[in-house]
Amino acid sequence: NGHPLNAVSFEDAEKPLAKELPLSELGEPDSNLSITIVGASGDLAKKKIFPALFALFYEDCLPENFTVFGYARSKMTDEELRNMISKTLTCRIDKSENCGDKMDQFLTRCFYHSGQYNSEEHFLELDGKLKEKEAGRLSNRLFYLSIPPNIFVDVVRCASLKASSTTGWTRVIVEKPFGRDFESSGQLTRCLKQYLTEDQIFRIDHYLGKELVENLSVLRFSNLVFEPLWSRNYIRNVQLIFSEDFGTEGRGGYFDNYGIIRDIMQNHLLQILALFAMETPVSLDAEDIRNEKVKVLKSMRPLLLEDLVVGQYKGHSRGGKLYLGYTDDPTVPKNSVTPTFAAAALFINNARWDGVPFLMKAGKALHTKRAEIRVQFRHVPGNLYKRNFGTDLDKATNELVLRVQPDEAVYLKINNKVPGLGMRLDRSDLNLLYSARYPKEIPDAYERLLLDAIEGERRLFIRSDELDAAWTLFTPLLKELEEKKIAPELYPYGSRGPVGAHYLAAKHNVRWG
Ligand code: NDP
Ligand code: BG6
């Protein structure tokens, strides 16, 4: 089909996506695509989903006949919905060219239907409106569940019974959280499967849609210089780091029920780990890749409480400004022990990774915003230049860094001779900075994932057995943490997080990058 992945090429990096994806390949010419965003009045819909759909439209990646419906309980007219979303649309590709026209064209394809999430009758009304726009053409329907998880099943029931396509496919994108432990996640999957087949369910983990995460496999499997080093023989440790320089602002109520381990580690960081560590898949097909990821997850050593450090941010004043602590949020209980920071050491019990620590660190309200994959290599055996590094040989090891965000980059720390007559070495970076190499703006993760769902490409979505394996790994640890009511180590808002994370790393001979 016309999905960009099936046309992997080494052509000009500047080439627009539209040329790689002829409209004719996005569906039968007289077919129709109806996209319904359930929870359209919410934060995610405004911030990410409508803008991503507009960007796809702007790049000619949507089929000719498409409509976007917002669905939520809030009362709104079509015009009010358009006003609401027009505030967050941006023309990132070419700010000057036809931007206003394109926005107007997009907005005329957007409609709204107000209804309850558990009302079959209201979904039947939606079906009527969709049919009107589809005008008798073959119709494919995509539902995006941008709503709290407690109403997922109601919506899926009503949408599948009353608003499924009768002529084309019906797919449902589900946002995390997928349960809060193994049992609740399994229960959710079973309920969804009463109404949908696994093939219709697209569980989103938006980190898989990030450019640098996509690039991880390309880097590894299409460059001879990396894959042979990708094992315990050459890699000393791998670090997966997520940090945000703001707190749970506005989402404290949601967050307190989940905590950072469920919010970031069990999904975003674990998915990256699985992609990083998997064996070479048979092909780039979704099932081949997901099969390999599941094998990694099933090979992981059970997580131990002694390999976990948890923290929670407290209020802090800096530069005359007071930054409130986590429990100062009125939606968070004062005695909450929910972690806003966690660091963990994970191990994969297989021949490739035996003994290699995979260190994860995730935190809110830290000193910086970044997401990185750092790979620290072993020492050079019998290093001829070791005297140049003094006693700290760790400083001489190579490190490969994939900076997922911000300022996307791939760089390799190497030792290099300082030019001159003497023999002095220093650490330098072979640096691929995306903004310098690829002037075009990088698509948002949601654009890639929406396009994939429309195309039926499942590679970047989570299969139910992957989800089970991820929860199997984290559930016992979370239970123990919660049963023992382990108090998190407090750290000041805007700091580097609890010092315990450094002890944990040191225990495994690791220094955080
Ligand atoms: P919101 O809390 O903004 O909810 C979306 C919409 O759902 C609301 O506008 C509201 O619409 C309806 N809603 C909210 N609470 C309830 C309730 N208790 N019962 C019934 N309906 C309700 O969520 P977000 O937009 O922030 O997120 C949507 C989904 O995406 C969630 O599952 C969230 O966990 C997930 N997510 C969000 C991210 C973000 O950055 N916001 C990031 C990653 C995932 P109305 O009242 O009009 O019906
Ligand atoms: C979401 C988490 O999945 O990812 C949020 O629920 C977090 O807590 C967000 O802020 C981070 O995403 P990004 O793309 O901004 O790094």
Residue nearest (by alpha carbon) to ligand 2 atom 2: 263
Q: Above 80 in pLDDT, residue 389?
A: no
- Quote the pLDDT of residue 97: 65
- Could you report the per-residue pLDDT of 43-53, keeping only the tens digit for each? 999 999 999 99
* Any ligand 2 atom below 6 A from CB of 134: no
What atom in ligand 2 is closest to the CA of residue 254? 6
- Could you report the per-residue pLDDT of 266-275, keeping only the tens digit for each? 999 999 999 9
**Two tokens at 498?**
């609890």
CA of 33 to the centre of ligand 1 (A): 24
For residue 502, give the nearest of 488, 490, 512 by alpha carbon.
512
Q: Count CA atoms within 13 Å of residue 374 on its CB side.
A: 21
Probe ligand 1: pick from 146, 178, 202, max atoms within 8 Å of CB? 146
CA distance 338 to 323: 19
- Quote the pLDDT of residue 388: 81
At residue 302 the predicted structure's pLDDT band, cuts being 50, 70 and 90, is: very high
More confident residue, 85 or 29: 85
Centre a 10 Å sphere on the Cβ of residue 33 and count the other Cβ atoms it contains: 23
Q: Above 70 in pLDDT, residue 403?
A: yes
CA of 243 to the centre of ligand 2 (A): 10
- Quote the pLDDT of residue 252: 85
Q: Above 70 in pLDDT, residue 169?
A: yes
- Quote the pLDDT of residue 319: 87
Residue nearest (by alpha carbon) to ligand 1 atom 33: 148
The region of weakest confidence among 19-28, 311-320, 432-441 is: 19-28
CA of 248 to the centre of ligand 2 (A): 10
* Any ligand 2 atom below 6 A from CB of 452: no
At residue 5 the predicted structure's pLDDT band, cuts being 50, 70 and 90, is: very low
* Any ligand 1 atom below 6 A from CB of 175: yes
Contact 142, 33 (CB under 8 A): yes
What atom in ligand 1 is closest to the CA of residue 42? 9
Probe ligand 2: pick from 240, 264, 369, 444, max atoms within 8 Å of CB? 264
- Quote the pLDDT of residue 359: 98
For residue 293, give the nearest of 76, 462, 156, 491 by alpha carbon.
462
| Closest ligand to Cα 266 | 2
- Quote the pLDDT of residue 16: 37
- Could you report the per-residue pLDDT of 89-147, keeping only the tens digit for each? 887 766 566 788 899 999 999 999 999 999 999 999 999 999 999 998 999 999 999 99
- Quote the pLDDT of residue 287: 97
* Any ligand 1 atom below 6 A from CB of 496: no
- Quote the pLDDT of residue 327: 96
CA of 238 to the centre of ligand 2 (A): 21
Residue nearest (by alpha carbon) to ligand 2 atom 13: 207
- Quote the pLDDT of residue 12: 45
**Two tokens at 122?**
């209201």
Tokens 């979704």, located at residue = 286
What atom in ligand 2 is closest to the CA of residue 207? 14
What atom in ligand 2 is closest to the CA of residue 268? 3
Probe ligand 2: pick from 268, 338, 369, 449, max atoms within 8 Å of CB? 268
Average pLDDT over residues 316-341: 94
Average pLDDT over residues 218-244: 97
The region of weakest confidence among 71-80, 391-400, 470-479 is: 391-400
At residue 13 the predicted structure's pLDDT band, cuts being 50, 70 and 90, is: very low
CA of 112 to the centre of ligand 1 (A): 17
- Quote the pLDDT of residue 29: 64
- Quote the pLDDT of residue 383: 87
* Any ligand 2 atom below 6 A from CB of 263: yes
At residue 386 the predicted structure's pLDDT band, cuts being 50, 70 and 90, is: confident
268 catalytic? Reply is yes
- Strand-pairing partners, residue 38, are 71, 145
CA of 261 to the centre of ligand 1 (A): 20
At residue 9 the predicted structure's pLDDT band, cuts being 50, 70 and 90, is: low
Average pLDDT over residues 295-308: 97
In sequence order, which residues have a C-beta less than 8 Å from that of residue 505 and are 6 or more positions away? 343, 345, 359, 511, 512
Average pLDDT over residues 419-434: 94
Contact 271, 473 (CB under 8 A): no
- Quote the pLDDT of residue 253: 87
Average pLDDT over residues 417-426: 92
What is the β-pairing status of strands 235-243 and 358-363? Answer: parallel
CA of 322 to the centre of ligand 1 (A): 29
Average pLDDT over residues 331-352: 97
Catalytic residue among 268, 316, 367, 502, which?
268
- Quote the pLDDT of residue 183: 97
Q: Above 60 in pLDDT, residue 238?
A: yes
* Any ligand 1 atom below 6 A from CB of 239: no
- Quote the pLDDT of residue 478: 98
More confident residue, 512 or 29: 512
- Quote the pLDDT of residue 1: 39
Q: Above 90 in pLDDT, residue 84?
A: yes
> What is the percent of the chain with per-residue pLDDT over 90, rounded to a whole number?
84
- What mean pLDDT value characterizes the chain? 92
What atom in ligand 2 is closest to the CA of residue 255? 8
- Quote the pLDDT of residue 441: 87
Identity (one letter) of the amino acid at 321?
Answer: K
* Any ligand 2 atom below 6 A from CB of 127: no
| Alpha helix ranges (H) inside 249-373 | 252-256, 259-260, 270-277, 286-298
Average pLDDT over residues 353-377: 98
- Could you report the per-residue pLDDT of 245-256, keeping only the tens digit for each? 999 987 888 899
Q: Above 80 in pLDDT, residue 11?
A: no
Q: Above 50 in pLDDT, residue 23?
A: no
What are the DSSP calls for 175-227, one per residue?
PSP--SSHHHHHHHHHHHTTTS-GGGEEEE-GGGGSHHHHHHHHHHHS-TTTG
Average pLDDT over residues 431-457: 95
